Amino acid sequence: MGTVTVSAAKSYDIVIGAGILENAGELMRGAVGVGSAAIVADGDVSGLYGDRCEAILRGSGYRTARFTFPGGERSKDAGTLISILDFLARERLSRTDVVVALGGGVTGDLAGFAAACYMRGVRYVQVPTTLLAMVDSSVGGKTAINLAAGKNLAGAFHQPALVVCDVSLLSTLTESAYRDGCAEVIKYGAIADRGLFDSLEEPIKGNYEAVVTRCVEIKRDIVAIDEFEDGPRKALNFGHTVGHAIEALSAYEVTHGHAVAAGMAIAARAAERMGILAAGGAGEIIRKLRLYGLPTTTGYGAAELAAACTSDKKRDGGAITMAFPTRIGSCVLKAVPMDGLESVIRSGLG
Ligand code: GLY
């Protein structure tokens, strides 16, 4: 078991290890004290781990209640958010109590945003059950729901009080969900750590604890200097500009990691053609994505992708800030004018 401490508006620990769900109650007592714990989980995760999680928390003195919703990105909407808020009110959760997000990125975003809104902010604990949530979305305090106009358009920065990453929970991941997480891991290697990138020649699933720890350390360092994404944190959006467009155009049929994989390949090819990325870099990233069975392009055209990017949060007036790798393990941020975005995307499509 290891701990990575994030220094943001408030400091909090990310505890990583195999089998540590058993310690979740005690870890929570240390982080937030004892009270009521409102667990939010999708139906699948609730069936797999809900009873166990409740029993563990009760064993540590918590009163528990559980809200279950249908899994999938399409649930990350205003309707589910309001249902969670109503549930918290019905359960009479107070400001001394805690919301527990038990699940993947959708659950963490929804439960975290509900915690940010309910009574103008209550504490929440992330218990991620997917690789993607462990390495990325459960850390750093971004919470959100999707709007009809685009992904994550309503949300808040609200840091968790604790993150409990029990890597043994990853044994139940579907192959597709595993690949979603691998895409984010490849992202960290590509933008920040050549050693991590190279180590991914060995399957991530044989090395979960070390890989999750390294990704979380990279994210900790970035969040510590730019919690609110005014600058350096935008590097974590490598592949996400086009990735979010693919997700939205597919009505979320293409899952986040797969969309980001295609977005990274497109951004890498474009970067190489613009002379930002050293020759051969795009090929290395694309080969790594293929090693994990991830897509490296999309059937959507440059014009529709660029149009879908106009509602992206990363747009700032007439330009959108994109992260481009300069070599494996390093990246740069560039403001791409909206009227030049289509040609950048086209150059990356293959
Ligand atoms: N997922 C990117 C970030 O948290 O900034």
pLDDT, tens digit (0-9, with 9 covering 90-100), for 1-20: 999 999 998 899 999 999 99
Q: Among 135, 142, 158, 226, name the best residue to mutate to test ligand 1's pocket (greatest count of ligand atoms within 8 A of Cβ).
A: 142
Q: Is the per-residue pLDDT at 134 higher than 90?
A: yes
Q: Is residue 110 very low, low, confident or very high in pLDDT (cuts 50, 70, 90)?
A: very high
Choosing from 123, 214, 219, 258, the catalytic residue is 219
Residue 236 Cβ inside 6 Å of ligand 1? The answer reads yes
First to last CA, the chain: 43
Choosing from 123, 214, 240, 288, the catalytic residue is 240
CA distances from 73 to 123, 189, 218, 340 (A): 23, 26, 26, 30
What is the structure's pLDDT at 60?
A: 98
192-228: pLDDT as tens digits: 999 999 999 999 999 999 999 999 999 999 999 999 9
142-179: pLDDT as tens digits: 999 999 988 999 999 999 999 999 999 999 999 999 99
54-107: pLDDT as tens digits: 999 999 999 999 999 999 999 999 999 999 999 999 999 999 999 999 999 999
260-307: pLDDT as tens digits: 999 999 999 999 999 999 999 999 999 999 999 999 999 999 999 999
Q: Is residue 234 very low, low, confident or very high in pLDDT (cuts 50, 70, 90)?
A: very high
What is the structure's pLDDT at 316?
A: 77
Residue 142 Cβ inside 6 Å of ligand 1? The answer reads yes
Tokens of 296: 């490296």
Specify the ligand 1 atom closest to the Cα of 184.
1
Choosing from 66, 142, 234, 314, the catalytic residue is 142
What is the structure's pLDDT at 13?
A: 98
Annotation says 258 is catalytic:
no
20-35: pLDDT as tens digits: 999 999 999 999 999 9
pTM higher than the cut 0.75: yes
CA–CA distance, 286 with 306 (Å, rounded to integer)? 22
Supply the DSSP symbol for 48: I
Residues 183-200, mean pLDDT to the nearest whole number: 98
Report helix angle 51-59 to 24-32, nearest 10. Answer: 60
Residues 30-54, mean pLDDT to the nearest whole number: 98
**Taking a C-beta distance cutoff of 8 angstroms, is the pair 292, 179 a contact?**
yes
CA–CA distance, 17 with 3 (Å, rounded to integer)? 9
Residue 233 Cβ inside 6 Å of ligand 1? The answer reads yes
Q: Is the per-residue pLDDT at 317 higher than 80?
A: no
